[in-house]
Amino acid sequence: MDWLNLSPDEWSAVRLSLKVATWAMLASLPFGIAVALLLARRDFRGKSLVDGIVHLPLILPPVVTGYLLLLGFGRRGPIGGFLEEQFGIVFAFRWTGAALACAIMGFPLMVRAIRLSIEAVDRRLEQAAGTLGASRLRVLATITLPLSLPGIIAGMILSFAKAMGEFGATITFVLNIPGETQTLPSAIYTFLQIPGGEAGAMRLTIVSIAIAMGALILSEWLARRAARATGGA
């Protein structure tokens, strides 16, 4: 079973992937909930355009998304230059940039799952709470979001899983720097480019499958538990 023993560099890629995916998921969650609420509960001019922009990363080639991120958030980009000058925040060629790329690539999946869950909430419950004097914020916090919790959990796990597997946008925006931006997909790609690297690629492939399956099983368990909790309430 020696072929299952990961080298320090391989462990570094695993840890970095988990770190990047976790931060990508958590950072995008508030925005995902807000956009899902907007699309599920509001009718406004340009709604189809907003919906299209949200889902654009699913349609565009990942390399295009990464290139656009490099133009906007690179050190010479309008957003990246401003953030570095004013706050010292750098995305290009850093793990934070990998997290940003993964968050954007997983954002459509998160929004769609949360939006469908919110749309499934009976609006009569929200209206009844409103007639009893509850504010919109209270209705959101006590009715809409708790009843949408299974979809929120599903959206989080989908975003996490997408981030774990993201390659094209990440390698275009932050390259493939060992210890800094080399995630699992990048490490597997590197192994496949060198003679005798098949064993390393296989080890990381097995790790990727294990993490993905674990995330899906956890998602199903949490969603069922949340559904039972909201149903019992």
State pLDDT tens for residues 189-226: 999 999 989 999 999 999 999 998 988 888 888 878 87
Please state, in angstroms and rounded to a whole number, the distance separating the CA atoms of residues 227 and 182: 37
Structure tokens at 8: 């320090």
Q: Which domains does the chain have, with CATH numbers?
A: 8-230 (1.10.3720.10)
- C-alpha span between 147 and 229 (Å, rounded): 9
Distance, CA of 54 to CA of 63 (rounded, Å): 17
pLDDT in tens, 64-74: 999 999 999 99
Task: Write out pLDDT tens, residues 16-32.
Answer: 999 999 999 999 999 99
Angle at 100 between CA 209 and CA 79, to 5 degrees: 165
Output DSSP code: residue 7: P
